[in-house]
Amino acid sequence: MSLVLYTHPMSPCAQKVRIVLAEKSLAFEARHVDLPGKENLSPDYLALNPLGVVPTLVDHDVPIIESSIICEYLEDRFPTPSLRPMAPQARAEMRLWMKHVDNKLHPSCGALQWPLVMADKLRRLPVEEQMRVIEQVPEKPRRERQRRLLLQGYDAPDVAEGVQVYEQTIADLDTLLAMRPWVAGDAFSLADASLAPYFQTLFQFGWEAWYASRAQVADWYTRVRARPSYATGVAADFDADRLADLRARGAPAWDRIRKLLGG
Ligand SMILES: N[C@@H](CCC(=O)N[C@@H](CS)C(=O)NCC(=O)O)C(=O)O
User: In the chain, what is the straight-line distance between the N-terminal and C-terminal CA atoms, in Å?
Assistant: 50
Task: State how far the Cα of 60 lies from the Cα of 76, in Å rounded to an integer.
Answer: 15
Tell me which of 8, 38, 45, 54 to substitute to probe ligand 1's pocket, judged by most ligand atoms within 8 Å of the beta carbon.
54
CA of residue 38 relative to chain centroid, distance:
18
Task: State how far the Cα of 35 lies from the Cα of 46, in Å rounded to an integer.
Answer: 13
User: Are residue 68 and residue 105 in the same domain, yes or no?
Assistant: no
* Structural domains in the chain (count): 2
Does a structural domain hold residue 244?
Answer: yes
CATH at 229: 1.20.1050.10
User: Are residue 166 and residue 227 in the same domain, yes or no?
Assistant: yes
What's the chain's average pLDDT? 97
Tell me which of 13, 20, 71, 121 to substitute to probe ligand 1's pocket, judged by most ligand atoms within 8 Å of the beta carbon.
13
| Domain, as residue range, for 179 | 88-260
User: Are residue 26 and residue 124 in the same domain, yes or no?
Assistant: no
% of the chain exceeding 90 in pLDDT:
96
**Cβ-Cβ contacts under 8 Å for 252 (sequence gap 6 or more):** none
Q: For residue 89, how many other CB atoms are within 10 A of its CB? A: 10
Q: What average pLDDT score do residues 48-70 get? A: 98
Task: State how far the Cα of 16 lies from the Cα of 21, in Å rounded to an integer.
Answer: 9
pLDDT value, residue 100: 98
Task: State how far the Cα of 219 lies from the Cα of 73, in Å rounded to an integer.
Answer: 29
pLDDT value, residue 246: 98
Cα dihedral sign, 144-125-44-34: negative
Q: How far is the CA of 102 from the centre of ligand 1 (A)?
A: 10
Q: How far is the CA of 112 from the centre of ligand 1 (A)?
A: 14
| Ligand 1 lined by 150 (C-beta under 6 Å) | no
Does a structural domain hold residue 210?
Answer: yes
Q: Do residues 172 and 166 make contact, with C-beta atoms less than 8 angstroms apart?
A: no
User: Are residue 98 and residue 201 in the same domain, yes or no?
Assistant: yes
pLDDT at 1 exceeding the cut of 70 = no
